[in-house]
Chains A and B, each alone.
Chain A
Amino acid sequence: MLRIECPWCGVRNEDEFSYGGDATLERPSDDDSIEAWSRFVHTRKNPAGKHTEHWQHVNGCRAWIVVERNTLTHEIYSTAPASPILPAGKKSTRGLNT
């Protein structure tokens, strides 16, 4: 069971969250090619180590957050709000597993 710190609600169990995939991808624009869009949806790095990913605090405040996690050790380096405009999310850098 991972313990993930929601920037708003604090540390909660993994089962309050749902996973949303790689948070570093840049979404193509409407003018981009089908190939670019296909890569955006289908091509993933699958790193062994640090991974920046989206999670949603779906059973809590429903905010989407960005989590930096080690895929090998499950160490979580930081969590932060995904939305640049939602107020009062405090970026957390507290390692839960250090």
Chain B
Amino acid sequence: MTQQFRTAAGGLIDRSRPITFQFDGKTYQGFHGDTLASALIANGQHLIARSFKYHRPRGFMTAGSEDPNAIVQLRTGSRKEPNTRATTIELFDGLEANSQNRWPSLAFDAMAINNVFSPLLSAGFYYKTFMWPVSFWTSVYEVFIRKAAGLGVAATEADPDHYEQCHEHCDLLIAGAGPAGIAAALAAAATGARVVIADEHPLIGGSLNSERLTIDGKSGVEWAAEQMEILSKMDNVRVMTRTTVFGYYDHNTMAAIEKVNDHVAIPAAGQVRQRMWTIYPKRVVIAAGATERPLTFGNNDKPGIMLASAVRTYINQYGVKPGTRAIVTTNNNDAYRTAFDLHNAGVQVLAVVDSRPNPDEHLAAQLAAISIRLITGKTVGSAEGRQHVAYVQLVSTDGHTSDPERIDCDLIASSGGWNPNVHLHSQSGAKPVYEDSIASFIPGISRQDESSVGAAKGSFHLQDCLDQGHAAGVDAAKMAGFKVKPKAKKVATAKDEGTYAIEALWVSPTPHNKSYKQFIDQQNDVKVSDVELAAQEGYDSVELLKRYTTQGMATDQGKTSNVNALAVLAGQRGDPVPEVGTTTFRPPYVPVALGVFAGHTVGNDFMPIRRTAIHDWNVKNNAVFIEAGLWLRARYYPQKVGDTLDDCYIRETNNTRGNVALVDVTTLGKIDIQGPDAPEFLNRLYINNWLKLPVGRARYGAMLREDGMAFDDGTTSHLSENHFFMTTTTANAAPVLSHMEYYHQTVWPELDVVFCSVTEQWTGIAIAGPNSRKLLEKVLDIDISNEAFPFMAVGECKMNNITGRLFRISFSGELAYELNVPADFGEQAWTELLEAGKEMNVSSYGTEALGTMRIEKGHVAGSELDGRTTVKDLGLEGMANRNKHFIGKHNSQRPGLLEEGRLQVVGFKSLESGRNLRIGAHLVDDSIKLDSVSQSQGHITTTTYSPSLGCGIALGLLKDGASRHGQQIDAVFPLDDEKVRVEICHPVFIDPKGELVRA
């Protein structure tokens, strides 16, 4: 094809740079500067898509991001991108696009049969049709809906491109770089204020690029280019093209999407495809322009029917003719420009059809001067033709529809008026208000630091746009504290383009008053009759209408259709439009790819990873890792190919219980506490006594939340006078620190104590097992005999010149120590311990064996401290000293927490040989009723196979469990139809007197 619909000259395309591209497998040519839409129109290709529900042929309605129809599948392979607007895709060499939602082809779509059965697909048809039988849901309905209402197809491979996020601060953010936005930027920037001006197009200028306007004696295009030059050279201005401000959030936090490399086939190495900006402006000027709305007539969705302004854009900006014989239909003055521009481009204008009986005389005279027929008091009643408009039938707006005039044409330029883009204003929390003079909504009272200017405020006169932009720029600079010189640069002067006037026409009469499909929301196939039906069925509030009909809920968010739908609803209710109100606009203003929200944080970078100093050793020694919060911990260490989890943790447990082994406990929270009131502070944090802990000793402590529930446990050591060292569980390291800070800063500021996290400073290594002392004696410089360093002793030590701290504490129930060394020496200390213990077959163990041994010892942990258990439930009540004050003391004594029937921690032994227990299994007396979870007596919280006992054991929470040791019960897991008979026992399975740890 040879672009036979190009104008002879003009437009902002570069005719010296042809571009080859494909649509639906067919090769076309366009020019640099085209959109996919303009290039297809240049080649006479108007059929771009099939509609969502009825599969009706659709063409380009607009030339911008508001288009409801021109949705295509862009690119292929891993960069495949469904539901992309052809009207916003900048053409690049090798571009491949395909139509979607059609089968087998765009021209012949078998699903168009829906068009015939459309009465079945009216408003609320999902709710009415797909109700029952339930079994049809997955077998019939879902399959049908997915096939019929399919949009594009997402890529199945991972997106290879980079997306990222960025932050920017400024005094003034201007959304939209049309004449008003440019004027605001110039005025504010001249004062020295920091200005960001963003526009979704590759060029700044907005309507100046698509209209024939004159500013300061220059063409609008020239003027815009000059201002771009000026602004981009200023240090205090950031001009962001291809950037849409899409969200207005609390406290003037703005979100924008920059399409950095969407206009090339593949971004260059290292370059990002799209960038998400979070912008923090002191003030926002919304210069987002206005969106034209179409007239609503029969078959108003046919290819060849376009917004009047879009026709001008295609002619003026892209140098393409959207048709050869045109009708302009309007209810306002603005569309007359389309007739002039079409005429100027050599397109035959058959008539301007103005629904108003008395149009503007000046415009009428201008039409007459170029011999264009003006028809007044009439409007298009219907458009006819198969896959493209072939003729129109005109009807009188006074209701006289019985003798429609037929005019053959291939282009209808339609204008129902202009809607200011109040989206960002509405997102900011403000309420747009209805303005009669333009028959649309304009911004209301501001709720945040923003103002709208120009067309976004409902001012469609170019000089007004420039004036308002300038004033808003000056105001913003003043508010940010900048001085405006008295001789501030004078605002630019525009050539007068006449005034805007409109008489609303919401729905056209149809020829012979016959029933026609009159579309409002073309993307979701919502018709006038759907809105009427919804109102009749009682869905007559705007919010209900939206949900019932899906009006405005497609990817265009009803930009061209919402006001029309409101007006139809108002007509049905017999109310004026403002009484119906408008829905709240929500971000994003344009569709934004999820990938750009994620930025770099995808795949392995989804969350940061915390690694201990032993991590590299663990990797080298084939550790299998487990996530614990952000930490990666070694779970177990396979020794040979085929080693299973069970093989490993049983071996590791046995070597600990029978010999000696090391585990990395770096992840425990560590808090350094100092000050004269440190003991008193600990005494209030913990339920037990802390005032008399001698220096050189550690103590186990439990703390509660203010509501009396158990919060965390750990040991705290008295290192030297008024200097303590607390450990917390891995999971609660951060919450415990915040908890302490809260009480210190807001409740007990009188306590003279300071503390900080030292979790990162120390590598923690537990050395456990009957031979642990023997091993440590080889490497430490201090006397660690039982007499010199008894259970719960703490002291400083040196190991091969590494100064560390030694704690005689035990989680495994064996004779054990914990050694803390500065983290940069962590791996060295670890490997030296392994080396020293080589002759005694020391090994490492992971969290799985650690867990096994803690269950065997009945130590409660996170799965029992679930936020609902008290220390009494956990069997730790004996620790509490109720003669002093501590956090949670009173609330832990609420009557409900002391009554019988509480879930209490107990142990369980599997009575069925070879069968282990399941976490989450319910404990029931009568397991015949497997579904009777309501009769659950409690649940299993943590389980393991105990190598020491030779059977499956568990801890769990059981109703009145403390008094039920020795009884039997069933642990059931109904999901898998599982049942195991267990014996209830004391939670400490081995060495109940704790002799081993004291040996």
Contacts and interface: CB of A to CB of B under 8 A. Distances in A.
The reply to whether A and B meet directly (CB within 8 Å) is yes
Interface of A: 1-3, 13, 18, 20, 23, 27-28, 30, 32-34, 36-38, 40-42, 54, 56, 58, 62-64, 73-74, 76, 82-86, 96-97
Contacts of A85: 749-750
B680 interface: no
Contact of A1 (B249, B448, B889, B890): B249
A37 B891 contact: yes
B429 A38 contact: no
Contact of A41 (B249, B750, B891): B891
Contacts of B429: 73
A20 B744 CA distance: 14
A83 B743 CA distance: 10
A62 B741 contact: yes
A42 B890 CA distance: 13
Interface string B981-993: 0000000000000
B890 A37 contact: yes
A74 B447 CA distance: 11
4 nearest A-B pairs in the assembled complex, by CB-CB distance = A37-B890, A83-B745, A3-B251, A30-B885
Given A3-B251, A83-B746, A38 B741 contact: no
B631 interface: no
Nearest to A76: B251
B854 to A, nearest CB: 30
Given A41-B707, A58-B738, A97-B448, A64 B251 contact: no
A37 B895 CA distance: 13
A21 B205 CA distance: 49
A54 B742 CA distance: 9
B541 interface: no
B894 A34 contact: yes
19 contacts: A1-B249, A1-B250, A1-B278, A3-B251, A30-B889, A34-B893, A34-B894, A34-B895, A38-B894, A42-B707, A54-B742, A56-B742, A64-B742, A64-B745, A73-B447, A74-B250, A82-B746, A83-B744, A97-B252
B706 interface: yes
Interface string B215-256: 000000000000000000000000000000000011111000
A34 B891 contact: yes
Interface string B427-452: 00100000000000000000111000
Interface string B446-465: 01110000000000000000
A49 to B, nearest CB: 15
Contacts, number: 75
Nearest to A32: B890
B889 A63 contact: no
A64 B741 contact: yes
Interface string B886-906: 000111011100000000000
Contacts of B249: 1
B337 to A, nearest CB: 41
Which of A33, A64, A96: most chain B CB closer than 10 A?
A64
Contacts of A27: 747
A2 B250 contact: yes
A1 B745 contact: no
A84 B449 CA distance: 33
A64 B891 CA distance: 24
Interface string B700-713: 00000011000000
Given A30-B885, A84-B749, A38 B253 contact: no
B280 interface: yes
Contacts of A32: 890
A64 B745 CA distance: 7
User: Looking at B706, B890, B894, which has the most chain A CB atoms within 10 Å of its CB?
Assistant: B890
Given A18-B738, A56-B738, A96-B251, A64 B746 contact: yes
A56 B741 CA distance: 9
A41 B888 CA distance: 10
A41 B891 CA distance: 8
A5 to B, nearest CB: 10
B890 A34 contact: yes
A65 to B, nearest CB: 9
Nearest to B750: A85
Nearest to B747: A27
Nearest to B737: A62
Contacts of A84: 749
B251 A2 contact: yes
Given A41-B706, A76-B251, 16 more contacts: A1-B251, A1-B278, A3-B250, A3-B253, A30-B885, A30-B890, A34-B890, A34-B893, A62-B741, A64-B746, A73-B447, A74-B250, A74-B251, A82-B746, A83-B746, A97-B449
A3 B749 contact: no
A30 B745 CA distance: 19
Contacts of A58: 734, 738
The residue among B280, B745, B885, B891 with the most chain A CB atoms within 10 A of its own CB is: B745
A56 B738 CA distance: 8
A31 B251 CA distance: 44
A76 B747 CA distance: 24
Interface in B687-740: 706-707, 734, 738
B251 A97 contact: yes
Contacts of B885: 30
A84 B446 CA distance: 37
